Amino acid sequence: MNQPPSQSQSESQAPPLSTAATPSPPRIDSRASFAAALHWGFERAIAGGARCITCSDPNFEAWPLNDPALLQQLTAWLRLPQRRLQLLAASYDTVPRQLPRFTTWRRDWAHAIQALQPQPEFALDLPTLLLDDRNISVHLIDPLHWRGRAADDPRTRMLWQEKIDVVLQRSEAAFAVTTLGL
């Protein structure tokens, strides 16, 4: 007397929350997919309770840091205690022109955002990378062809963290919040 499950039983059998709540890392094969991967990385890091997010790039030109939705997410995250956003760039010269909304937003959060510039010998090989302090990493391997890798893997993140820590230790503060016109 096997009967097919009733309508209410089949509707209650939804996919497990872990599959729906943790989307797989996106593939990076274009500029748009790189921006989508960065959004994914920020979202996963914030949702995962990261205390520190580190962003590394020669100049941040291709990053979606002007996106109002992303800035709103970062604002909510930075309001939590002991949160820090680290930026590491070879040059911040184009950031005020390329990312004016981000530059203005950053003024209000200067106490929680650390902008660093590496010594010249490290600036040449600076990776395009987003890391959190948990499991998330987004790496643009080939900036010319927009190829990269996003991962939700503690081992990958740890390997990148070790490499980027060497550069962070040899960096100094840059990208002043305000400039004096003297």
Q: Give me the residue spans of the domains in the chain.
A: 25-173
User: Which are the contacts of 131, defined by CB distance < 8 A and separation ≥ 6?
Assistant: 53, 54, 56, 137, 157, 160, 161, 164
Per DSSP bridges, beta strands 84-89 and 136-142 are unpaired
pLDDT (tens digit, 9 = 90+) per residue, 53-73?
A: 999 999 999 999 999 999 999
Residues facing 151 on adjacent strands:
137
Average per-residue pLDDT in the chain? 89
Q: Which CATH number fits domain 25-173: 3.40.50, 3.30.870, 1.10.357, 3.10.580?
A: 3.30.870
SS3 for 126? coil
Q: What is the predicted pLDDT for the residue at 8?
A: 41
Count Cβ atoms within 10 A of the Cβ of residue 39 and give its class: 0-12 exposed, 13-18 middle, 19 or more buried: middle
Per DSSP bridges, beta strands 128-132 and 52-57 are antiparallel
Round the CA-based radius of gyration of the chain to a whole number and report it: 19
Characterize 158-174 residue by residue with b for buried, 16 or more Cβ atoms within 10 angstroms of its Cβ, and e for exposed. eebbeebeebbeebeeb
User: Which amino acid, one-letter code, is at 104?
Assistant: T
Q: What is the predicted pLDDT for the residue at 16?
A: 37
pLDDT (tens digit, 9 = 90+) per residue, 77-105?
A: 999 999 999 999 999 999 999 999 999 99
Mean pLDDT of 128-140: 97
Mean pLDDT of 103-124: 95
